[in-house]
Amino acid sequence: MLKPARHAIIDIGSNSIRLVVFSGSKRKPKVLYDDKLIAGLGRGVVARGSLDQRSMSLALGALKRFTALLKLVGPQSLQVVATAAVRDAANGAQFLEQVRALGLPARLLSGEEEAQAAAWGVVASHPAAHGLVADLGGGSLELARIADDRVFECASFPLGILPIAAIRAGGRGQLRGAITAALDPLDWLKAVRGDQLLLVGGAWRALDKVRVQLFGGELGAAFPAADARQLKAAMRELGPRRLAAMPGISSARAAQLGHASAMLWALVAEIGPREVIVSNAGLREGLLFKGH
């Protein structure tokens, strides 16, 4: 009996470096292996415009380990992609050369490609989804309109968790102003008003865990968009220390939840969705589903 095909994806993100090995249907795959390291590539980019040596060393160490693991797994296909941190860094091209020297076929995704991949991941796992996909990463925010099993307009902004923290440090109302300025030229957002807002990204998945523990419900279940304001207030009241004490919330994620909830409320206020859904699928599932 033939073994099901295995497909591997390495995602070099602004916060983490991740290897996921999938099997089975590309629309509803089974995760055989999932490994990650928090390298923090985006921190140096926000602070100095380039990847710092320590983060690159951590990332390359993880990628070397992943390369050894892949020789044992023997996947039928392998995709290696880098996103916002490498895209925006002055030394991003040099870093990618070092990654390729390990024998990994790394490619740099544009902001639009990143948005499309995240959206296709949501389409694959939520066939009835209809509205706006918002993928919040460490370095960037990607938006894409989806409907009828298709992906339409896409956009990308340097408004990930790390830049958000810097923006909010500037004072009250700074983030909302940045969101308004970024979204104002996007006429197509009018088409998703009153529709679904589908969230992709680790920070928002952690926020959903806190939502369920505080207010009840189920992970991944739709909740009224208006609840985003209450969620933001709860994150501010609890603070990172108390959030980190909650089951399933790491100290690293706890430090990001205030920023993630602030971004969620800003998006809800600007876009006017009917409900919010946090998706477990995103960029990696989208790359697998579409095969590019």
**Does residue 95 sit in the same domain as residue 187?**
no
Q: C-alpha angle 171/174/179, rounded to 5°?
A: 160
Of 59, 79, 108, at which residue does a domain stop?
108
pLDDT number for residue 1: 44
Which structural domain, as residue segments, surrounds residue 68? 6-108
Of 41, 73, 108, at which residue does a domain stop?
108
**Does residue 135 sit in the same domain as residue 270?**
yes
**Does residue 17 sit in the same domain as residue 99?**
yes
- E strand map for 39-99: 77-82
Measured distance CA(58)–CA(285) in Å, rounded: 25
pLDDT number for residue 3: 66
The pair of structure tokens assigned to 85 is 């941190």
In a domain, 288, yes or no: no
Q: Give the full edge-to-edge strand order of the sheet including 141-147.
A: 150-157, 141-147, 131-136, 196-200, 275-278, 223-224
The pair of structure tokens assigned to 212 is 């369920």
pTM greater than 0.75 = yes
Report CA dihedral (95, 100, 103, 106) to the nearest 10 degrees.
Answer: 100
Would you say residue 194 has pLDDT above 90?
yes
Per residue in 122-131, pLDDT (tens digit) is 999 998 899 9
**Does residue 137 sit in the same domain as residue 218?**
yes
pLDDT number for residue 291: 67
pLDDT number for residue 28: 86
**Does residue 99 sit in the same domain as residue 117?**
no
